[in-house]
Amino acid sequence: MAELRLKSSRFRAEREADWRRLESLLSRAERNAAGLSDEDLLAAPLLYRSALSSLSVARATSLDQSLVDYLESLSTRAYFFIYGARARVTERIAQFFARDWPDAAKALWRETLVCFLLMVLGIAVGLILCLRDPDWFAAFVPAQLIQGRGPAASAAALRATLFSSGHGHQEWLTTFATYLFTHNASVALMAFALGFALCAPTAMLVTANGLTMGAFTAVFISHGLGVEAVGWLMIHGVTENFAITLAGAAGMRIGWSLAFPGERTRLDAAAAAGRGASIVMGGVLVMLFCAGLLEGIGRQVIQVTWIRYAIGLGTGVLWLAYLYGPRAIRRRTALG
């Protein structure tokens, strides 16, 4: 026992200065990391590796447990300082909106274009078929979404759904917005989640969403309310369908990576695609939240058709400029 205590004392005496220096550096970093000098930043990895080496020796030679516990705690703190994410939550959120989301969306431009064309195709097919034969309407629109806006409705009833007012109506706008946000989010999440099946289900879902919009528009056009109906849809539809298109694009990227992984394994290819797709989906939820507010509140409160068009077109321009517009090139230092 005396020999063990002697070994422990010698071991501590030979290395304790480095441990204390590392401990002091970590304490200062936890208070104010910006106050560390360049010398401290360069020394931290070396001191961390030295502490790990000491911990390994202490465990192998069965030195006293208190020393092992101290070195484990010190090494853990050093690990999180050197390798952990030191950005604050607010900084991470700012980085997501300033760089991560737009960059991830730009990387999916091919898939986004494909989903956009599929949705436009669905709108065109639904519109043409329902204008020629109203019986197609029931095939494209779920019963729970019709709410009295079918081909059999009168022009007056359809106009009332576009320009509604009244105190009783205003009371349930918030609840309605929440419901629509949940519905739209489920469509977007399904478009994303089904992409792994070689993209086909996602393509079908995006096209079906277009068929529904085309069928609804055809009903209003047939009653002489086409201009008003498009404005009613645009105030929220631009943001909503842009979000669904991005979600479908993210799902397609994963499905395409699984089908054609290239030189990587399918698992590695899907994991790489999933990292960028998950960032896009985070942005999709933000867009759907905005669409839910516009659909449940803004669309009901704003009763002027040209203002609805202006808001719809304005949101489209803003999203395109934000996600795909040029950005200032950030200068990188040697420390990143």
Output 90 or 33, whichever has higher pLDDT: 90
Q: Which two three-digit tokens encode residue 87? A: 């950005």
CA angle, corner 274, sides to 177 and 81, nearest 5? Answer: 100
Q: What is the pLDDT of residue 172?
A: 46
Residue range 236-259, pLDDT digits in tens: 889 999 999 999 999 999 999 988
Report whether pLDDT(319) > 50.
yes
What mean pLDDT value characterizes the chain?
Answer: 84
Listed in sequence order, the residues at least 6 apart from 236 whose beta carbon sits closer than 8 Å to its beta carbon are: 291, 292, 294, 295, 298, 299, 312
Report whether pLDDT(103) > 60.
yes
φ/ψ of residue 18, rounded to 5: -65, -40
Report whether pLDDT(328) > 80.
no
Tell me if residue 265 falls in helix, strand or coil: coil
Report whether pLDDT(330) > 60.
no
- Report the distance separating Cα 203 and Cα 192, nearest Å: 10
Report whether pLDDT(164) > 70.
no
Given a contact cutoff of 8 angstroms between Cβ atoms, the answer to whether 180 and 295 are in contact is yes
Residue range 40-91, pLDDT digits in tens: 888 888 999 999 988 888 887 766 788 888 888 998 988 888 876 556 678 8
Q: What is the pLDDT of residue 334?
A: 30
Domain positions in the chain are 2-86, 91-324
- Report the distance separating Cα 78 and Cα 54, nearest Å: 14
CA 124 to chain centre: 29
Nearest to 149, CA basis, from 227, 207, 215: 215
Q: 9-13, 166-170, 231-235 — which is least confidently predicted?
A: 166-170
Q: Which two three-digit tokens encode residue 116? A: 């956009």
Given a contact cutoff of 8 angstroms between Cβ atoms, the answer to whether 279 and 104 are in contact is yes
Report whether pLDDT(3) > 60.
no
Helices (H), 84-152: 89-95, 101-107, 109-132, 137-140, 143-146
Residue with tokens 């896009």: 280
pTM above 0.75, yes or no: no
- Report the distance separating Cα 286 and Cα 161, nearest Å: 27
